[in-house]
Amino acid sequence: MSGDSPATTKQTPERPPAPGWWKWVGLRRRSGRLLRIVPNRWGWVMLIGVSLISGALGFAEYSMQPEFCRSCHIMEPYYQAWHESTHADVACVLCHFEPGLEKTLEGKWQASSQGVKYITNTYGSKPHAEVRDSSCMRDGCHDRRLLEGKADWEVPTQRGTKITIKFDHTPHLTELRRGKELRCVSCHSQIVQGQHLVVTLDTCFLCHFKGLKHGRDDETLGGCRSCHETPKDEIRLTNGIFNHESYIDRGVSCENCHVDAVSGDGAVPKQLCWTCHNQPAQIARYGETNFMHQSHVTDNKVECSSCHVQIVHHLTAGPAASGSLLTTLDSHEQGDQNACSQCHDMSHNGPLNLYRGAAGRGVPDMPSPMFNAQVDCVACHKQRKSSRDVAGVMGQTYIAVQDSCDECHGGHYEGVLDEWRQTVGLHLAQAEQANERAHEVIESANIPPAELLKLKRLLDDAVHNVRLVKLGHGVHNVTYATALLNVAIENCKQIDAAVHNDPGKVQASP
């Protein structure tokens, strides 16, 4: 027989056709293999593509985590500042990327360029970052509630206490301030002394004090009470209780006592511009104030302190040369060579020592109650001594008058300045007479050298106290001045008694 019988022929089963959708997903059937369904060429392309896209999306998500930001060592200080801040639970990109997919992609592109610079070692050591208002006020963060109502901000003082500053976001973010448009980060610094997004007082002081008069004719943008409430706590002094409200209600201004609370002019030295700019055309625009603030503050975040010299503001801010009482005292004690002291050595030292109740002999320190209350010299010295013509040549001196007392203390202090002058004058006359008599007694006495030395020490202390009260004007501290003169009179009595009665009983003052 020429062919196999039908019974002996091996039949190969027919494979069912592959579903049509396999072609679109890139699959094919393979027979006689362990894996019978495998990708075709198109499938491999799709598989590789999906893997690449998934990996890119996964890396993109990972790269948006704060931990990834510290991969570059230059970011470590910024990361630590963020980690210890009040925004530690807020991802970096929520602030540094503006809301919206388009802005997020733009931020990722900029971040990628920074990554390339880091890899190629072309980066700078101080990266610059922008935080826009739209990021601060995005949904779920601060929203628009910042523009509603005022905030109380507690700031620590030099004496370890806290002072509450009233602040209203609305006018600062919705209105021009000094003709300039501010942003959230105009006040909230991105990083200052290792801190993230904190308010820098230097920025506040620049706006509120720059270009205004300070000292005797103090000026403040908005006035003191736009930021400070009237202190509520009573201050216990040696002669009673001091309450700020009673003085404010009578119209007494803050600078009447707290003079020279501002130091520095906030100027911008031209040479600082070269720190960032190296083109003469850029430096040539120095002095175009509106352009400079638009470019640096409104359009780009540049720290105010990067350009402006610091302005300091607190109760004893001014340098000794400017006339602040407490700082002048510190200057004399430490031997500072300020502008005034180069010509006027120890000027007004007597009045200052009397006011603080020090430098006398035989009497413990006894500060004036007004000194303890930090009342400065100009609170009393208000009346001009010389006419304008004379002052134009010789300078001006301000003298104390009764009106200064009445302005602060009211009618119950009427005539007190003349009364103080009479009291000090009477005691001073008695002390000077006692000094003259004691000097004559010592000159005419014939006593042993050891006893004579004790008498001269007593007289020297008496002369010192009289000189301090007379030249320092005892009205600066009547109680202390009277005590010093009483010691002088008592020393002279001891000298007289010792010479005429018993020289062995002389007691030298400490």
Q: What is the pLDDT averaged over residues 419-431?
A: 94
Name the residue type at position 287. G
In the structure encoding, which two tokens stand for residue 136, read together? 């601060």
pLDDT tens figures, 451-490: 888 999 999 999 999 999 999 999 999 999 999 999 999 9
Q: Do 157 and 271 lie in a common domain?
A: yes
C-alpha span between 135 and 91 (Å, rounded)? 12
**Higher per-residue confidence, 62 vs 205:** 205
pLDDT at 247: 82
% of the chain beyond a pLDDT of 70: 80
Q: Which of 313, 328, 344 finishes a domain?
A: 313
**Higher per-residue confidence, 199 vs 190:** 199
Q: Do 160 and 32 lie in a common domain?
A: no
pLDDT at 13: 56
Q: Do 275 and 343 lie in a common domain?
A: no
Q: Residues 79, 81, 86, CA angle at the centre, nearest 5°? A: 110
Q: Is residue 410 part of a domain?
A: no
Residues 6 or more apart in contact with residue 443 via CB below 8 angstroms: none
Q: Do 185 and 46 lie in a common domain?
A: no
pLDDT at 33: 63
pLDDT at 505: 47
Residues 6 or more apart in contact with residue 480 via CB below 8 angstroms: 354, 357, 360, 363, 366, 367, 368
For residue 115, give its domain range: 64-121
C-alpha count within 13 angstroms, C-beta hemisphere, residue 434: 27
For the four alpha carbons of 415, 421, 424 and 426, in that order, the dihedral sign comes to negative
Least confident of 2-16, 175-189, 308-322: 2-16
Q: Do 278 and 181 lie in a common domain?
A: yes
What are φ and ψ of residue 508, in 5° steps? -70, 140
Q: Is residue 181 part of a domain?
A: yes
Q: How far is CA 364 from CA 371, 468, 483, 484, 505, in A?
A: 16, 15, 9, 10, 24
Q: What is the pLDDT averaged over residues 328-355?
A: 63
pLDDT higher than 80, residue 207: yes
Q: Do 264 and 238 lie in a common domain?
A: yes
Contact status, residue 399 vs residue 385, Cβ threshold 8 Å: yes
In the structure encoding, which two tokens stand for residue 196, read together? 């993230």
pLDDT at 421: 93
Q: Do 151 and 231 lie in a common domain?
A: yes
Q: Do 439 and 369 lie in a common domain?
A: no
Mean per-residue pLDDT of the chain: 79
Under the banding of pLDDT at 50, 70 and 90, the label for residue 206 is: confident
% of the chain beyond a pLDDT of 90: 16
pLDDT at 434: 94
Q: Do 68 and 52 lie in a common domain?
A: no
C-alpha span between 28 and 40 (Å, rounded)? 6
Contact status, residue 426 vs residue 433, Cβ threshold 8 Å: no
Q: Do 159 and 291 lie in a common domain?
A: yes
Q: What is the pLDDT averaged over residues 410-422?
A: 88
Q: Is residue 407 part of a domain?
A: no
C-alpha span between 58 and 60 (Å, rounded)? 5
Least confident of 55-69, 170-184, 417-431: 55-69
Q: Do 296 and 173 lie in a common domain?
A: yes
Under the banding of pLDDT at 50, 70 and 90, the label for residue 425 is: very high
Contact status, residue 226 vs residue 238, Cβ threshold 8 Å: no
Residues in the chain: 510
What are φ and ψ of residue 373, in 5° steps? -85, 5
Tally of domains within the chain: 5
Q: Is residue 106 part of a domain?
A: yes
Least confident of 20-24, 56-60, 138-142, 415-419: 20-24
Residues 6 or more apart in contact with residue 196 via CB below 8 angstroms: 78, 81, 82, 84, 85, 87, 190
C-alpha span between 103 and 132 (Å, rounded)? 11
- Containing 21, the helix (H) or strand (E) segment is helix 20-25
Q: Is residue 168 part of a domain?
A: yes
Q: Is residue 111 part of a domain?
A: yes
pLDDT higher than 60, residue 510: no
Q: What is the pLDDT averaged over residues 377-396?
A: 86
C-alpha span between 282 and 373 (Å, rounded)? 50
Q: Which of 400, 432, 467 finishes a domain?
A: 400
pLDDT tens figures, 13-71: 556 666 766 766 667 766 666 676 777 777 777 778 888 888 777 766 777 788 788 77
pLDDT at 482: 95
The CATH number covering residue 443 comes to 1.20.140
Q: Is residue 15 part of a domain?
A: no
Residue that has been written with the tokens 């970011």 in this structure: 75
Q: Is residue 73 part of a domain?
A: yes
In the structure encoding, which two tokens stand for residue 32, read together? 């006689």
Q: Do 162 and 300 lie in a common domain?
A: yes
